[in-house]
Amino acid sequence: MLVHGNHPEALRDLLVTWSRRYPLAPLETETLLVHSNGIAQWLRLALAEDADGEFGGGCGIAAALDMSLPSRFLWQAYRAVLGFDAVPESSPFDKPLLVWRLMRLLPGVMAAPDYAPLRRFLASDADLRKRFQLAERLADLFDQYQVYRADWLAAWADGEDVLIRANGDRPPLPDEQRWQASLWRALLDDVANSGDGGALAGQGRAAVHEAFLRRVEA
């Protein structure tokens, strides 16, 4: 059964009603995908509410629940299909890990001509606050690219400093943006040299996803 809805309260009530009517067997775990930790807590409270509670009633208890973000659920699926040896417990390109990797890498690449825009931003940064802010923004940028612009990252990894349009055109990166391709290659090299993630996961989440699709379609 697939239910669409624009009102989270209505979907919450449906989940509670379904859980009360069709409870799982003892020791079974219910897996719920949520888009934020806040929503996960909100659903736990709704399920734990007394059956005659203020907002229509819950199940009286919220136990044996695996609340997972979609990205974490997918990564677990990759590990289950491709093998725990091929896919590590977490991706070396997860955003929190990228922040600290970028904090370490940025000083070593700043001298290259392509990084002039970043050098200007990092001027007068005695307490490293600017570098940390930049690392956070870049980690978020590359995290989004892995989801929505995996084709760009693949081209950059192959040494092509281009943008790929929907119609197949491949215009070159503007000069002031060429640092993005260079920095992505630096990240790939750093992950490979550190041995984090192995050969597959060390190429980024998109490479793992493609390998997963090939395996399930075989």
Tens of pLDDT, residue by residue, the chain (218 residues):
788 888 988 888 888 888 888 888 888 998 999 989 999 999 898 888 887 755 567 788 888 889 998 888 999 999 999 998 888 888 899 999 999 999 999 999 999 999 999 999 999 889 999 999 999 999 999 999 998 999 999 999 999 999 999 999 999 999 999 999 999 999 999 998 887 777 777 788 888 998 999 999 98
64 & 100 share domain: no
Residue 90 CA to residue 31 CA, distance in Å, equals: 19
Whether residue 180 is found in the same domain as residue 122: yes
Q: Answer yes or no: do 114 and 175 share one domain.
A: yes
| C-alpha to C-alpha distance for 8 and 85, rounded to whole angstroms | 38
Tokens of 56: 């229509």
Structural domain contains residue 205: no
Tell me the chain's radius of gyration from C-alpha atoms. Answer: 22
Over residues 73-113, the pLDDT tens digits come to 999 999 999 998 888 888 899 999 999 999 999 999 999 99
**Which residues form the domain of 59?**
8-68
52 shares a domain with 14: yes
Calpha distance 201→114 (Å, rounded): 27
pTM: 0.76
Instruction: State whether 12 and 63 are in the same domain.
Output: yes
If phi > 0 it is left, if psi is from -120 to 50 it is alpha, else beta; for residue 204 that is left
- For residues 82 and 215, the answer to whether their CB atoms sit within 8 Å is yes
3-state class percentages of the chain: helix first, strand second, coil last, to nearest 5: 60, 5, 35
**Residues 62 and 100 occupy one common structural domain:** no
- Residue ranges of E strands in the chain: 30-33, 65-68
Q: What are phi and psi of 152, to 5 degrees?
A: -60, -50
By residue count, the chain amounts to 218
